[in-house]
Structure formats: structure tokens, C-alpha cells
Amino acid sequence: MHTWDDYLALGIVGMARGGKLSWFNGHFGAALLAGYYMLKENELSTHVQAGIERTCNAYIERYSEWFAPIESEQAIPELLARFIAGLKANTEKLRSSGHGLALGVLALKALNDRPDLVTPSVIEGLSQMLERTLQDRPNRYWEIDDYLGLTEEDAHDIPVYSSAADMVDQSFAELASVFPDQVIDGQTYFLAGEQEHGITHAHALLELERLGYGELTKAGMRNHRLQMQLNRAVPDLAKPNEVMSPKFTGILSEDYWSNTYKDPHAIKVPYASLALLKRLPQHERETAEYNVCKLLTLMG
């Protein structure tokens, strides 16, 4: 049985292998990395650590071929440039709810801590994952036939970000109303899912800045603002299902962490949310955390 300090290497390798198959499969390695950094960067109760390890170990068992020991391979630091180019491409336009950054920046952070894993097979898998996140269906959002041609100029209802703090504020403000995902005419609209990605995308952009890629953060913030606009495309059919109150009011609640989750966002969203909450004034944190718990209430 693995413990959280194993998750750094396992997460990188698992994301590279899973992400090479499809970008969504990169989520499971990313969940391990989120669990690792959530425990490393916060003082957490034993029930939270147990919950993270239980869920992450379930992913490792379920997708054992992705998390198998990696063959010995020489690290080549120069290969990281290809991966950075993939991140840059994901800051140039909004695609797949910012997944290229939400997943990729976790990998970049981990590779900074484990440069020995900047190997040909790892970079190949991660780079393919980033390339795939740039391909998305144009009708992702309700009653928007083709969002692929939209730009920040189409974010009419979202104030222009003058700073990263504005982005954080807007990410939490959009959680005032949370709606479960909805299937309409065979098409799934990721309503709560898109709001989750607003949080993880914002966190990734802040991490990029911290890691020394401030220009990528500035470019990506424009896409995040458009994302906030698009996330407001909610069908009337979904509105009666609004989550009016969460089952718990704290991200670290034992009621939440006593479960084992299939959805890898169950770790990624709490990790990103805790980091963003630290950016808010103290008097704003309680309401923001309460609204995050509406999202967590829907986790499966």
C-alpha cells in the first residue's frame, strides 16, 4: 500500500502514461500530485491524509498499468522545453476548460521537484496530453454553437482582470450558484464541472507565475475571464436543481474525506481551493469555502 510521499513520482509517471492515451486519463496522475502537494503545503488532520491516501490508492489499483514502476531512463533536461511549449500553446486560447494548464502545471511543478523524471518517455506522454487538450468540441457550452472562435472580448459580463487577485475573486464569485451537470438530448453539459475547472485553472495560472512563467500567466488570465463568461451558460432545465446548501461547510470536513471517490477532481478541487482561499481577505473566506463545498457535495 502506497503512502502520500510515494505520490510525487507515481503521479508524474501515471499522468504521462494515462495522458498519452487520452488527456482525461491524465487526471488520475494529477490527483496523486494534488494529494501530495495538498499534504505537503498544508497542516492537515489525520482523517484528511487517510482520505487522500484511500482515494489515491484506489486509483493506483484501478489503473495499475499506468502506475507500474518505470524503466530506468536517462533524464535529459533540454526536453522540458517541449513541455513548456505545450503549456504556452494552452495559454494562447481557451480550450477544454483550461485542462491543459490544470493538468500540465501540476506536472511542471512535480518535474521541478523530480528533475530525474524529465525523461523521453515522460515528456512524450505529457506533451501528447497537452496537444490533445487543444482539441475540443465546439458546442461544449449550452446554446453556444461554436465557442472555439470566441475571445476575451466576448466576456461582456465579467470585469476585466487588473491583477491575479481579480481572477481569484471572480473564480469564487461564480460559485454563488452551483448546478449539477445535466444531460440534454444526449449531450452532457458540465455545469458544476466547468465551475470546478474555473478553480483549478486559476490555481494553475498562479502556480505558473510562482514558478517563473509570469508572461504565460498574463496570457492565460485572458482565457480564464472568457471561461467565467461561458460558465454562465446554464439551461433553464438545470436551474431547479441548484445546490442551495452543501452537506458540510468545510473543505477539510470529515464528512467529505471519509469517502472514497472515483472522480479525480475530488482531490484536485480541494487542493486548488485551499490555495486560492489563502489569497482572499480573511473576512471573505468563510463564504467562499461554503460555496466550494457546494461543488464538493456533488463529488462521486
**Among residues of the chain, what percentage have pLDDT more than 70?**
100
Distance CA 180, CA 151 (A): 26
Average pLDDT, the chain: 98
Residue 299: the pLDDT is 98
**211 burial type by CB count under 10 A (0-12 exposed, 13-18 middle, 19+ buried):** middle
Task: Tell me the H-state helices in 22-76.
Answer: 26-41, 46-62
Q: Tell me the mean pLDDT in the region 240-259.
A: 98
Predicted TM-score (pTM) of the model is: 0.97
Nearest to 263 by CA among 201, 172, 184, 181: 181
Q: φ and ψ at 189, to 5 degrees?
A: -110, 115
Q: Tell me the mean pLDDT in the region 91-118.
A: 98
Q: For 206-233, write each residue's pLDDT tens digit.
A: 999 999 999 999 999 999 999 999 999 9
* Crossing angle for the helix pair 164-173 and 282-297, to the nearest 10 degrees: 50
Q: Which amino acid is at 110?
A: A
Q: Residue 267: pLDDT band by 50, 70, 90 thresholds?
A: very high
CA atoms lying within 13 Å on the CB side of residue 110: 33
Residue 70: the pLDDT is 85
Q: Tell me the mean pLDDT in the region 94-106.
A: 98
Residue 71: the pLDDT is 84
Q: Tell me the mean pLDDT in the region 131-156.
A: 97
